Amino acid sequence: MGVRMSQFLTNDRVTYSLQSNFGKLFNTQEQIASGLRINRPSDDTVAESKVLDYKLTINDNGQFQRNMTDAKGFLDASETAMNTLTDNLQRLDELIVDGTNGSRGPSDRIDIGQEVSTIRQGIYQLANTKYELRNIFSGQKVNQQAFSTSGSAYIFNGDGKPINVDINYTARITENITASTAFMISMPTTQTIRLDNGTFAHYIPSKKTIGQSVMVGSVPTIQNYQVPQITITVSTSSNPTAAGSVISSSSFTNYMEMVEGVENAFNSNNVDMMQAYLKPIQLALDNTATVRATIGARANYIDRTNNALDDTTMQTQEVLSNYQDADIAKVVSDLSKSELAMQALRQSSFQIMSESLLNYLK
- Domain count within the chain: 1
In a domain, 196, yes or no: yes
In a domain, 142, yes or no: yes
Residue 186 sits in a domain whose CATH number is 1.20.1330.10
Domain that holds residue 154: 59-310
Q: How far is CA 16 from the centre of its chain?
A: 60
In a domain, 338, yes or no: no
Residue 1: band (very low, low, confident or very high) from pLDDT cuts 50, 70, 90: very low
Extended strands (E) in the chain:
130-131, 134-135, 147-150, 153-156, 164-166, 172-174, 191-194, 200-216, 219-235, 246-252
In a domain, 356, yes or no: no
Burial of 245 (0-12, 13-18, 19+ CB in 10 A): middle
Question: Tens digits of per-residue pLDDT, 289-344?
Answer: 999 999 999 999 999 999 999 999 998 888 776 766 554 556 555 555 655 555 65
Task: Provide mean pLDDT across the span 219-236.
Answer: 85
Question: Tens digits of per-residue pLDDT, 239-249?
Answer: 999 888 999 99
Read off the pTM: 0.78
Q: Which of 137-151, 219-233, 283-297 has the lowest mean pLDDT?
A: 219-233
In a domain, 40, yes or no: no
In a domain, 74, yes or no: yes
In a domain, 267, yes or no: yes
In a domain, 22, yes or no: no
